[in-house]
Structure 1
């Protein structure tokens, strides 16, 4: 069994893989050796790997060092991806792991990964396994908070999955239109631009706000090429185990 952990800004996803098949996944608000131990419940682990954007406590790293052959994923690690990002030390490991996951799921295809989390990232996993970079944009919640924080009178409101008017008829719905419709138009713009360059383009959605994007993309002209894979980063990290030991 492989133990795979994706520690993000607001939660930690822990999964067990039997070779390349995920057999279990849980999400926790915090990560510690105790949490991992409860998750494993005595399960034998051959390899363990973690990607973290928020640091790792020494006791947690010590626990993982005792859980099979341990890999702390970073963007300088040997994989089959040719990483041409100019500043790899500033590249989020979850972004690269998602690219590796996309290449594993769609070998030989050009895949645009849209990771809708605290920030929204757009990254192209090229068919030739080259990674040049992508784009980073404010996420859904961040946009709502920014309007309230950096203006004098606009209120803080929450996302509304039921909003579909297309325009605002008061301040609340005007904010919903600007944020929610704006994000969708942004994503469709990126998809259209990449598809013009790569006609065989496949799009994969992941991240904490994946349901928001999935609902809206299903009714767009790009619906036939959009797939949802909430565990894309975990799949990519598990793939790293095999590439690292190849």
Structure 2
């Protein structure tokens, strides 16, 4: 049995999970301050055969060095890493590792489909994996908090709305804060629905898959049919790790 250690170092959260023979355990969120201690503890107690680090931020160099020293089969995922799909993205050097992991996860979960993976986090990324197993790209737009912060940063009078309830956002705002909340939340809903509709018109056998930290707030508010998978990135990391570091027979 192969035991894999998967680490997702995002802009907002760091998640760690173990996977055994393609079955992912529930990821846990760890802090940057305790990441070395916690991952070391996992390695010592569970003794994973392989490890992968998917990072879209300035991750700890010490963590990377520790993984390489303690686990022979350690992979640091980049846009140039060998993957079990065709990566036709033209600027692989600037491709976020998370986007590559997401489309690999979609390939594992929905093979033979045109899959649009929508990850709602710091940014919203739209990532199309065609049914010929080819990833070409998609789109990137600002995420929820980035939109709230941008309106404050680039105007003189608009406040930064820090306390908001996405699930209860009004359509008709009754003051400046609720108007901003309406514009941000309902604007994102309209954007995501619109993007799904445009892709669905172009591609047959089409799936839209929603993931990312803010995805639960939007999954039930979209008009289009979607699949929700909060662990899609980790599933992709596990698949990429097995693809790059097969166990000896």
Of 182, 185, 198 in structure 2, the residue corresponding to residue 180 of structure 1 is 185
Alpha-carbon distance in 2 for matches of 1:59, 1:172 = 42
Normalised to the residue count of structure 1, the TM-score between the two structures is 0.92
Normalised to the residue count of structure 2, the TM-score between the two structures is 0.91
User: Shift in Å at residue 41 of structure 1?
Assistant: 5.3
Of 93, 99, 108 in structure 2, the residue corresponding to residue 89 of structure 1 is 93
User: Shift in Å at residue 152 of structure 1?
Assistant: 1.2
Of 7, 11, 14 in structure 2, the residue corresponding to residue 12 of structure 1 is 14
Alpha-carbon distance in 1 for matches of 2:201, 2:4 = 39
Do the aligned residues in 2 keep the contact of 1:163 with 1:176 (CA within 8 Å)? no
Of 22, 41, 45 in structure 2, the residue corresponding to residue 38 of structure 1 is 41
Give structure 2 stretches of 5+ with no counterpart. Answer: none
User: Shift in Å at residue 163 of structure 1?
Assistant: 2.6
Do the aligned residues in 2 keep the contact of 1:141 with 1:159 (CA within 8 Å)? no
- Tell me what 2:65 maps to: 62
User: Shift in Å at residue 35 of structure 1?
Assistant: 2.1
Alpha-carbon distance in 2 for matches of 1:37, 1:106 = 34
Higher mean C-alpha deviation, range 39-48 or range 180-189: 39-48
Q: Compared with structure 1, are the counterparts of its residues 167 and 199 closer, same or farther at alpha carbon in structure 2 (3 Å cutoff)? A: farther
User: Shift in Å at residue 80 of structure 1?
Assistant: 2.2
Q: CA RMSD in A?
A: 1.6
Do the aligned residues in 1 keep the contact of 2:169 with 2:185 (CA within 8 Å)? no
Alpha-carbon distance in 1 for matches of 2:191, 2:199 = 13
Of 153, 162, 166 in structure 2, the residue corresponding to residue 161 of structure 1 is 166
**Structure 2 residue 212 is matched with structure 1 residue 207:** yes
Question: Secondary structure of 1:120's match?
Answer: strand
What aligned pairs does 1:66-215 form with structure 2 within 5 A after superposition? 66-157=70-161, 158-215=163-220
Give structure 1 stretches of 5+ with no counterpart. Answer: none
- Tell me what 1:48 maps to: 51
Do the aligned residues in 1 keep the contact of 2:169 with 2:181 (CA within 8 Å)? no
Please list every run of at least 4 consecutive aligned residues from structure 1 whose deviation after the TM superposition is greater than 4 angstroms: none
Deviations 1:6-39, CA, capped at 9 Å, x for gaps: 1111221100001100124211121632120234
Question: Secondary structure of 2:230's match?
Answer: coil
User: Shift in Å at residue 164 of structure 1?
Assistant: 4.4
User: Shift in Å at residue 210 of structure 1?
Assistant: 1.1
Question: Secondary structure of 1:136's match?
Answer: strand
- Tell me what 2:243 maps to: 243
Alpha-carbon distance in 2 for matches of 1:18, 1:7 = 21
Q: Compared with structure 1, are the counterparts of its residues 58 and 176 closer, same or farther at alpha carbon in structure 2 (3 Å cutoff)? A: closer
